[in-house]
Structure 1
Amino acid sequence: MEIRLLKYFLAVAEEQNITQAAKRLHITQPTLSRQIREFEESLQVNLFIRKNKKLYLTESGTYLKKKAEEILALDEKVEQEFANYQNKMLSGQISIGCVEANSSHFLSKMLEEMITNHPQVTFNIFSGTSNDIVEKLDKGLLDIALLIEPISEGNYNKLILPEKEEWGLLVSTEHYLANRPNVLAEDILGVPLICSSRKAVQDLFFSWGKFNEENLNIVGKYNLIFNVISLVENKVGAAFSLKGATTNRTNKIKFLPFEPKLETNCVLVWKKGSLLNTTVRAFIQHIKYALEA
């Protein structure tokens, strides 16, 4: 499967129009039509259906689009890494996955120092859930990742970052708990809750409060806290959340820490056995020195 054909396919999928895609690719419309037709024939599937003068992806086309995006991202990354290998001076891109956490400030400081010392170094940050980030890390689409424990440690090297991440309850400023300095386990019983969809985080919460899930009033689950802030503001529910994920988002919500405290480590991880380029290895070493200082 040629990279060129995948680029043609993605252009048509994004433009939903052969003519517009051909202009974007700087080739003729008949040439692109023929290439897509021959591509479909070689795969023995229809990738597009025409409706209302637009091209829409079939189920097979949707699957291929996701894989094509991953392949092209990896292809670009390999090209960049090979260019770095040929250049003794530190340069190129560091691909970083990052969850919502206070420790992102530490990562920002490390990046600032790295770029100041090596102006040809750039970075690409992918923000998402732990599951999304780990998937990309495993596929080689990310070099390193900032994650919240607990994580599966068997496949990854890790550095524990200095700042602990504090868990608590995110409530509307009009919530009846909002004037409390903190939240006890018994305060949560009966409160409509919005919890993380990540099982490891749910288990952490249940263990802290000695809860059984069936005894809690869980009205919804989320993958990124950003998506539920408006729900908390409108008193749909209170959200189990990290303090760092909600800092300075709005003055209509309030973070209430748990009592007793519930804290976890934020860690920088990279896949064991992965062939990291010189720039990424230098960045990891820079962080190690900062942690040892």
Structure 2
Amino acid sequence: MEYRILRYFWTIAEEGTMAKAARLLHITQPTLSRQIHELEDELGTPLFNRTKGRLSLTEAGLFLKSRAEEILDLTEQTKQEFADRRSELFSGHIRIGCVEADNSDTLAMMLEEFVNDYPEITFTIFSGSSADVSDLLDKGLIDLGILLQPIDLHKYQQIVLPRTEKWGLLVSNESFLAQKKGITPQDLIGIPLLMPSQPEMQRMVTNWADVTLDELNIVGDFNLSFNAISLVTREIGSLVGIEGANSMVPASETTFVPLDPVVKTNCVLVWRKGRIMSPVVSEFVKKFHQAFA
């Protein structure tokens, strides 16, 4: 028994004639009459007494009308509750921290889809290193973060994003390294390096090169590569980082040379374990789960 047919039956019972009910329901009278005959056949009993153009309910019809009212009321109430929930969910604000990486485009893509679906949503994006974003998460100043591995994730729930980030050196085009296809561990020894300040990233590089930090010529470190890029163009040092963080750098001045053997890591969407999310943040995380988990 379909919801639509119950609504047809209830409207006829209220109006008393097929003609009035058909006008209200915006269907033809023969179609409505056929639907009710099929309902009576399905139930195995007449629902209306038909006398002189008017319809009155049989005992079975009265019983069905009372049940139909309950079902229709419950359906409308449920639809309204979902409409109210939708209004509550999708008029909120999301605060997101994001590292410099190719996966910034992933965040932009997901936000574009989310805001198109729910135009009342607003958002704030904080840019920073993984350490900066983690600090904001821990203080409760942002809801979600996109971090670059390697990083300590024991405090967080996470979704691994599919696009990998390739590590290498950003070098001046005047450097001999700009002509190389790949940077080997031996190439790092002795050259001035600008190194990410995060300990996890430094360990990843030293483990790859099988050296200690003291064996490298680190002239400076940084939390965001943007401000260190001008040091590369001035040949103060070669910057250890990911290709995606340097995508806006003019090719006429610098070259990204990948590590060899290749080193790739992922970005992850994270949020603090045990922290209660707002409905809108929960729904945004659900979108990421559907897309990538």
Give TM-score, length-normalised by structure 2.
0.69
Q: Is the 8 A contact 2:197 2:222 kept in 1?
A: yes
Following the alignment from structure 2 to structure 1, what is the Cα–Cα distance between the partners of residues 250 and 85?
Answer: 45
Q: When the two structures are aligned, how many residues end up with a matched partner?
A: 209
> Residue 176 of structure 2 aligns to a residue in which SS?
coil
Per-residue CA deviations over 1:180-211 (Å, capped at 9, x if unaligned) read: 11111111111111101111110000001101
Specify the alignment match of 2:106 in structure 1: 106
Per-residue CA deviations over 1:137-182 (Å, capped at 9, x if unaligned) read: 1111100000011222221100000011111011001111101111
> Residue 142 of structure 2 aligns to a residue in which SS?
coil
Which amino acid is 1:271 matched to?
R
Displacement of 1:85 in angstroms is 8.5
Specify the alignment match of 2:238 in structure 1: 238
Q: Is the 8 A contact 2:101 2:244 kept in 1?
A: yes
Q: 207-216 or 280-289: which moved more?
A: 207-216
Q: Is the 8 A contact 1:85 1:278 kept in 2?
A: no
Specify the alignment match of 1:17 in structure 2: none
Specify the alignment match of 2:260 in structure 1: 259
Specify the alignment match of 1:124 in structure 2: 124
Q: Is the 8 A contact 2:151 2:201 kept in 1?
A: no
Specify the alignment match of 1:163 in structure 2: 163
Per-residue CA deviations over 1:232-291 (Å, capped at 9, x if unaligned) read: 001001010111000022221110000110111110000011111111100010111111
Displacement of 1:122 in angstroms is 1.1
Greater gyration radius:
2
Percent identical among aligned pairs is: 40
Following the alignment from structure 1 to structure 2, what is the Cα–Cα distance between the partners of residues 142 and 216?
Answer: 36
Q: Is the 8 A contact 1:85 1:277 kept in 2?
A: no
* Match runs of 1:3-42 below 5 Å: none
Which amino acid is 2:106 matched to?
F
Moved over 3 A (4+): 84-87
Give TM-score, length-normalised by structure 1.
0.69
Which amino acid is 1:202 matched to?
Q
Q: Is the 8 A contact 1:137 1:144 kept in 2?
A: yes
Following the alignment from structure 1 to structure 2, what is the Cα–Cα distance between the partners of residues 180 and 86?
Answer: 55
Following the alignment from structure 1 to structure 2, what is the Cα–Cα distance between the partners of residues 121 and 203?
Answer: 40
Displacement of 1:86 in angstroms is 10
* Match runs of 1:1-293 below 5 Å: 87-251=87-251, 252-292=253-293
Following the alignment from structure 2 to structure 1, what is the Cα–Cα distance between the partners of residues 189 and 176?
Answer: 13
- Cα pair distance change 1:207/1:117, threshold 3 Å: same
Which amino acid is 2:122 matched to?
T
Return 5+ residue gaps in structure 1 as ranges: 1-83
- Cα pair distance change 1:89/1:134, threshold 3 Å: closer
Following the alignment from structure 2 to structure 1, what is the Cα–Cα distance between the partners of residues 121 and 86?
Answer: 15
Q: 84-93 or 194-203: which moved more?
A: 84-93
Q: Is the 8 A contact 2:94 2:281 kept in 1?
A: yes
> Residue 163 of structure 2 aligns to a residue in which SS?
coil
Following the alignment from structure 1 to structure 2, what is the Cα–Cα distance between the partners of residues 264 and 86?
Answer: 37
Which amino acid is 1:222 matched to?
F
Which amino acid is 2:113 matched to?
E
RMSD: 1.6
Per-residue CA deviations over 1:68-117 (Å, capped at 9, x if unaligned) read: xxxxxxxxxxxxxxxx9895351121100001011111111000000000
Following the alignment from structure 1 to structure 2, what is the Cα–Cα distance between the partners of residues 215 and 187?
Answer: 12
Following the alignment from structure 1 to structure 2, what is the Cα–Cα distance between the partners of residues 152 and 201?
Answer: 11
